[in-house]
Each structure stands twice: as C-alpha cells, then as structure tokens.
C-alpha cells in the first residue's frame, strides 16, 4: 500500500510544480516488532509503524528539503501541498549549490523480497526455549523495511523486505558477560540455539580466575564481531573518495600505492546483497558491487554525488561515502579450528572505545570487552583482564595477518534511533601473528 501511496503523492506533486521547479521524494517506512528480554524472559514487547518522507524542492542549483511524517491516508497530500510554500520561501534565501548533482536519466527499479519470517511470537518462543535457565538480556527487532524514491522526471524506485536483528548478552557476574549479535532475512531457530549454547559454554569459562597480561605483543584471534569493530573504524573516512582527495583518509598510503595489505584482504561494498537500498537520495542507482580492496591493493573508493560533481567522477555510493553493505572475502581456516591455529594467545570477541591514535598511519587504539580469553595450546585457559591495544591496520591486516576463517557472520547495525538501521557487514574471523597491547 505504501508503494502505491508514494506513487500517488509523486503524481500529485508533479501537477503542483511551477516553471523551472523540480522535486525528489525519499521515503523510509517500517513495520517493526520490538521485544526486550531480561533474565531470560520477555520484559517488554511493542510495535512501531512509521513512514517519513523527505520532500526536496529544486530550482536551478538551489535546493531545500522538509521532512514529513506520513499516515498513509489522504491527509498526506495536504501535508505535501502545505510544505511547498515554505520550501519556495526557503529557496529565495539559500545560495546556489555548486556541487548539487541529481540523476537526470530516469532509471526505475523495484526489489521486493518475499516474506520469509515467522510471526514475532514464534521467534520469541524459539529464543525463550534456547535461553531457558540463563540470564539472557537483549532486544529482538523484526519486520518490514521499505525505501522509495520518486522525482519530477518520472523516476520511481522501490525496495522492501523483511529482516530481523537479535542483539543479546548472557550475564555471568559483576561486569562479566558474553555479548553476541545475530541477524538475517531468514529465521533459523537452529542457529539461535547454537549461538546461545556457544555463549553459555563461554559463560562458564568466565568464572575461572582472571588472567592479567603484561603489555606487549601477542598472537590474537579476532571473532567477526571484533574484526567488525576495526573495520568500522576503517569505514570512518577510509573508503571515501572525498577524504582521500582531502588527504584525510586513514588509508591514504594504500590509495596512493605506497602501502599494501595482505593478499588475503579483499573488501567490497556489496549493495546488491545487503539490506540498504540500491538507489540513493539523488536518484542514482548504486552498483550491485564495488571492489574496494582486492588482494591487498586499493581498487576503488566510494563516491557520493557531490564528490562526483566536484571531481568529475561517476557516483557509486551515498552522500556520506561509507560502506553500507561491507563484505570481506573469506579465507580457508575452518572456524572450529581457530583456537587450535591460535595455539597460545588472546581470543577477542568484542572491542570498544575504539579511536584513531594516529590517523595517517591507520593506527587504532581500543579496549577489550566482554568475553575475551587467554588461550594456551589451543584451549581457553582463563578470562582475560581488560587490556588496551594500539596497533595499525596496515600491520594487523598486512604482514601480521595469518589467516581468515572460511565461515563468515552477518553483522547488522542494531541502531533504531529514528528508524531501524540497515548497515551490515559480512565478515570472517581473523588470526594475526602479533597484536600490540599498550596497557
């Protein structure tokens, strides 16, 4: 229904335009069930149904945008009509935007994924069975997410699909817990049971005496979640064309060809396989896949429409120029053999408080968090005390990278401020020969 509603609004708006005016419409809508758990029981359940429309009015190189909250009924047309005088007044006040670039070649698309999720009640029941007797705390978010675009040129794009995200922890004692996240577009009760069972095994290990390490260098295994923390930092300007041109990119040496990562590292923006829309707010269609790093060498950057206008390039990403559907190619190490391959070293399941300690050198500092362990001879020996690391991704994903796991995990942003996030990462685990701990 919302798809047809957006088409009606676009058609009506076309008839209200004055000479030399144009418009774009950007819709984000969702129907989401949220369920909160604590002590392994449901503590709060509710649903959200919302739709927000960004109406942009364009005249020449000037633009003004207003966001409207839609109800899905006839009242929405009155909202659109009422917004036009305000936007026209704003256009009189703003200056020309020299880097405004909008798609002038209409390309309509539609991607509707078939519904594959059971009712939220069934998903909750599976979680409660798997978590029986455990102190599980977390939140399940599941349901439809819709994206739509229309403009005065007749272009219309639509994408909708179901997805779920279960962000949870098993609590042990004091500040000790095992943190996990699972997500997807198909529900698998078996994977939920497996994930909670694995976390429960680690929960028992957290009760062992704490191991305190001296600062220094240690072999380390990063779970996909821990590796995702590092790559989120890389996504902070490291994949952006504008940041590279401004010499602010933490991967500038890679972009310029002065440095390379391990041949095992191949990173891509796989928009065609992610949850985010393939079209963007200026009307350009994003490529199904953009190879960013291949065999350790830089291939492409992410280029938003404004950068495309400024530097005479073709856009391939959204305005913020960050990866929304990041994929790191798998390796050959079976996940079940990761501890054996690690031998003696540290097992890192989560990192936090990450920041650049030397942006130009792509050097990152952060803390270990939740279930991180000391491993001896391929077996977990003790929970690890909180440590601070400080190391460069040129090293960790370069000469120190020993292996990537053959299996990958889908990590979806659990954020829901204003609306459910759709940014995702599909990542393997990573074994490195040396990670430097500073404290």
Share of the chain above pLDDT 70, in %: 100
Band of residue 439 on the pLDDT scale cut at 50, 70, 90: confident
pLDDT for the residue 175 = 86
- CA 153 to chain CA centroid, nearest Å: 31
Mean pLDDT, rounded, for 156-179 = 95
Measure the CA angle with vertex 228, ends 415 and 323; round to 5°: 70
- Asked if the model's pLDDT at residue 99 lies above 90, the reply is yes
In the prediction, which pLDDT does 261 show?
98
pLDDT band at 80 (very low <50, low <70, confident <90, very high): very high
Could you give the 3-state DSSP secondary structure of residue 225?
A: helix
Q: How far is 166 from 182, CA to CA, in rounded Å?
A: 5
Maximum separation of any 2 CA atoms in the chain, in Å: 75
Q: What are the pLDDT digits (tens) for 395-410?
A: 999 999 999 999 999 9
Place of tokens 């002065």: 258
What would the two tokens of residue 346 be? 């540290």
State residue 296's pLDDT score. Answer: 98
Q: 323-337, pLDDT tens digit by residue?
A: 999 999 999 999 999
- What is the band of 63 on the pLDDT scale with cuts at 50, 70, 90? very high
| C-beta neighbour count of 42 within 10 angstroms | 14
Structure confidence at residue 343 as a pLDDT band (50, 70, 90): very high
pLDDT tens-digit readout, 223-236: 999 999 999 999 99
- Residue ranges with strand state E in 174-260: 176-184, 216-222
CA distance readout (Å), 102 to 51, 86, 299: 24, 22, 25
Q: With 90 as the cut, is the pLDDT of residue 145 above it?
A: yes
pLDDT at 115 over 90: no
Residue with tokens 């076309």: 14
Is the distance from CB of 345 to CB of 433 less than 8 angstroms?
no
Share of the chain above pLDDT 90, in %: 96
Q: Average pLDDT of 38-66?
A: 97
Asked if pLDDT for residue 114 goes beyond 90, the answer is no
- pTM equals 0.95
Residue 185 is predicted with a pLDDT of 93
Mean pLDDT of 172-190: 93
Sign of the C-alpha dihedral computed for residues 186, 187, 189 and 193 taken in this order: positive
**pLDDT at residue 234, as a whole number:** 94
Q: Is the Cβ–Cβ distance between 439 and 387 less than 8 Å? A: yes
- 372-385 mean pLDDT: 96
**How does residue 250 score in pLDDT terms, banded at 50, 70 and 90?**
very high
Q: What is the pLDDT of residue 116?
A: 84
Mean pLDDT of 370-389: 95
Q: How far apart are CA 150 and CA 143, in angstroms?
A: 24
Average pLDDT for 193-198: 96
- Rounded to an integer, the average pLDDT of 278-303 is 97
Report the alpha-carbon distance of residue 389 to residue 366 in Å, rounded: 6
- In DSSP notation, 135-196 reads -EEEEEEEEEEEEEEEETTS-EEEEEEEEEEEEEEEEEETTEEEEEEEEESS--HHHHHHHH
pLDDT tops 90 at residue 1? no
pLDDT at 398: 98
pLDDT at 60: 95
Q: What angle do CA 242, 420, 166 make, to 5 degrees?
A: 115
pLDDT digits (tens, 9 = 90+) for 251-269: 999 999 999 999 999 999 9
What is the model's pLDDT at position 289?
A: 97
Mean pLDDT of all residues belonging to the chain: 96
């Amino acid at each position: 229904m919302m798809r047809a509603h957006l088409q009606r609004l676009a058609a009506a708006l076309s008839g209200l335009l004055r000479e030399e005016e144009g418009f774009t419409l950007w819709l984000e809508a969702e129907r989401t069930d949220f369920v909160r758990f604590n002590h392994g029981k449901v503590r709060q359940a509710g649903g959200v149904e919302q739709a927000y429309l960004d109406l942009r009015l364009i005249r020449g190189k000037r633009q003004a945008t207003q966001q409207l909250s839609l109800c899905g009924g006839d009242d929405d047309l009155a909202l659109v009509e009422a917004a036009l005088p305000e936007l026209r007044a704003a256009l009189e006040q703003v200056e020309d935007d020299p880097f405004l670039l909008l798609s002038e070649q209409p390309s309509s698309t539609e991607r509707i994924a078939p519904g594959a999720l059971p009712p939220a009640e069934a998903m909750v029941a599976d979680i409660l069975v798997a978590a029986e007797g455990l102190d599980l705390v977390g939140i399940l978010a599941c349901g439809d997410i819709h994206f739509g675009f229309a403009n005065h040129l007749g272009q219309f794009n639509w994408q909708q699909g179901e997805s779920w995200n279960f962000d949870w922890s098993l609590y042990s004692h004091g500040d000790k817990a095992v943190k996990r996240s699972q997500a997807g577009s198909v529900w698998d009760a078996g994977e939920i049971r497996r994930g909670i069972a694995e976390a429960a095994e680690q929960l028992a290990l957290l009760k062992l005496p704490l191991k305190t390490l001296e600062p220094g260098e240690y072999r380390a295994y990063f779970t996909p979640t821990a590796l995702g923390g590092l790559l989120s930092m890389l996504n902070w300007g490291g994949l952006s064309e504008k940041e590279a041109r401004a010499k602010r990119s933490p991967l500038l040496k890679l972009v310029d060809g002065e440095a390379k990562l391990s041949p095992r590292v191949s990173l891509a923006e796989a928009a065609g396989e992610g949850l985010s829309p393939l079209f963007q707010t200026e009307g350009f269609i994003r490529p199904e896949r953009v190879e960013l790093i291949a065999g350790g060498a830089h291939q492409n950057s992410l280029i938003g429409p404004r950068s495309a206008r400024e530097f005479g390039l073709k856009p391939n990403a959204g305005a913020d120029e960050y990866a929304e559907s990041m994929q790191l190619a798998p390796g050959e190490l079976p996940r079940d053999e990761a501890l054996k391959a690690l031998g003696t070293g540290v097992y890192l399941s989560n990192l936090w408080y990450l920041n650049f300690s030397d942006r130009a050198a792509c050097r990152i500092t952060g803390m270990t968090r939740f279930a991180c362990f000391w491993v001896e001879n391929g077996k977990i020996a003790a929970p690890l005390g909180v440590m601070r690391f400080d190391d460069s991704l040129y090293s960790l994903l370069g000469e120190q990278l020993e292996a990537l796991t053959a299996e990958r995990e889908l990590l979806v942003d659990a954020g829901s401020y204003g609306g459910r996030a759709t940014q995702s990462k599909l990542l393997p685990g990573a074994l490195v020969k040396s990670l430097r701990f500073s404290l």
